[in-house]
Structure 1
Amino acid sequence: MEELVNRLSAAADIDRSKAESAVKTILVFLDKEAPADAVKQLVDAMPGAEPVLAEARKEHEGDGYVGFGAMAAYHALTAAGLSGGEVQIVTKELLAFSRDAVGDETTGRIVGSVPGLEAFV
């Protein structure tokens, strides 16, 4: 997970805490919206991500997302303090990381399950 946080921080020119918050927010969102087996593969490919996701699930238990599909994730990320431009960069970088870590097929399943997410590929 550190690798992804560093990658997002550098790409979006945001501090580590914002990048960590973005990763948590995205993982919780995908955990709720994307196929469980695909998300598990992604989480398993990120050392240290499982306990972070477990903690984030508790923090966000019962949270609803405003909007639908990728717009819901967008709203959650802006609520976490990212600007619109930072959300785009972070999302593109996370999907690139996913392709590198779990391949195009699994990433495609994740992207295909969230309406509007394909715009970030």
Structure 2
Amino acid sequence: MDELVTRLSTAAHIDAATATAAVKAILVFLDKEAPADAVGDLMDALPGSRQALSDAKAENGEPEGFAGFGAMAAYHALTAVGLSGSEVQVVTKELLAHAREKAGEETVGRIVGSIPGLEAFI
């Protein structure tokens, strides 16, 4: 997780705490909205991600749902942790690039393909 948080902080020019909150928000979103097997494969490839998801759920409880639908729901989750629109785009692109490097194109493709509007957003 440290590698990913550093990458997001540097790329989006945000502090580590905000980058960590963004990662947690994305993991919670994916856990709820993306195929469980693909998310499991992603978490297996990202050390510390299962703990981050567990921490996020402990901090905020289980999400009832997200404001919006598909990619817009993810956008709202990220703006809720304090990211601007341009920061959301940078964080999303960098997180997906990191995920592709660690988990592979097939796993990330299954996740992205399952979330309406995400391909157009990134």
Tell me the residue number matched to 2:25.
25
**C-alpha RMSD of the superposition:** 1.1
Q: Name the TM-score, length of structure 2 as normaliser.
A: 0.94
Are 1:14 and 2:38 matched, yes or no?
no
- 1:1-121 map, 5 Å: 1-58=1-58, 59-121=60-122
Query: How far off is 1:120 after superposition?
Result: 4.1
The one-letter amino acid of 2:5's match is V
Report Cα offsets for 1:26-53 as digits up to 9, x if no partner. 0000000111111111111111121111
Query: How far off is 1:60 after superposition?
Result: 3.7
The one-letter amino acid of 2:101's match is D
* Contact 2:5–2:19 (8 Å) recurs in 1: yes
SS at match of 1:89: helix
Q: Name the TM-score, length of structure 1 as normaliser.
A: 0.95
Query: How far off is 1:90 after superposition?
Result: 0.2
The one-letter amino acid of 1:42's match is L
Unpaired stretches in structure 2, ≥5 consecutive residues: none
The one-letter amino acid of 1:105's match is E
Distance across 2 between alignment mates of 1:45 and 1:8: 17
Change (3 A) 1:6 1:76: same
Distance across 2 between alignment mates of 1:105 and 1:115: 17
Percent sequence identity over matched residues?
Answer: 67
Query: How far off is 1:79 after superposition?
Result: 0.9
* Number of residue-to-residue matches in the alignment: 121
Query: How far off is 1:61 after superposition?
Result: 1.1
The one-letter amino acid of 1:66's match is A
